[in-house]
């Protein structure tokens, strides 16, 4: 039986998470994409806590497009700078590095995050 897209993404996610982990000095920037919104959060895997998060749901007048992903990327970079975080590990969460995921990553880089 053929795997669905979601099953394939979850398998890729597990494979990625074996290799990367976030710390307090260099947290993991996780991207989650749904049909209505795009979410980004900084996670410290050592403590098992989310440091900060941003999404199109929390930002006003932002729609789910590449422009919305850019707004979320800039917002998460701004919040990270406020917490003195400059370096992160990017976790694409099994999604293809294209479109909204790439737009969010590029905007976070422009905002000052290094990964």
58-82 tens-digit pLDDT: 998 888 899 999 999 999 999 999 9
Q: Are 107 and 77 in contact (CB under 8 A)?
A: yes
Give the Cα separation of 53 and 30 in Å (integer).
Answer: 9
Domains and CATH numbers, the chain: 5-110 (3.30.420.100)
Q: How confident is the model at residue 24 (pLDDT cuts 50, 70, 90)?
A: confident
Beta bridge partners of 110: none
Percent of the chain whose pLDDT exceeds 90: 90
What pLDDT, on a 0 to 100 scale, did the predictor assign at position 64? 87
pTM: 0.90
User: C-alpha angle 39/95/70, rounded to 5°?
Assistant: 45
């Amino acid at each position: 039986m053929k795997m669905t897209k979601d099953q394939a993404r979850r398998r890729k996610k597990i494979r990625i998470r074996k290799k990367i982990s976030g710390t307090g000095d260099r947290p993991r920037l996780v991207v989650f994409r749904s049909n209505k919104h795009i979410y980004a959060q900084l996670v410290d895997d050592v403590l098992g806590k989310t440091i900060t998060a941003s999404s199109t749901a929390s930002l006003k007048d932002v729609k789910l497009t590449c422009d919305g992903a850019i707004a979320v990327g800039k917002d998460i970079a701004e919040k990270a700078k406020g917490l003195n975080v400059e370096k992160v590990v990017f976790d694409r969460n099994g999604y293809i590095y294209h479109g909204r995921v790439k737009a969010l990553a590029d905007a976070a880089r422009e905002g000052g995050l290094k990964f």
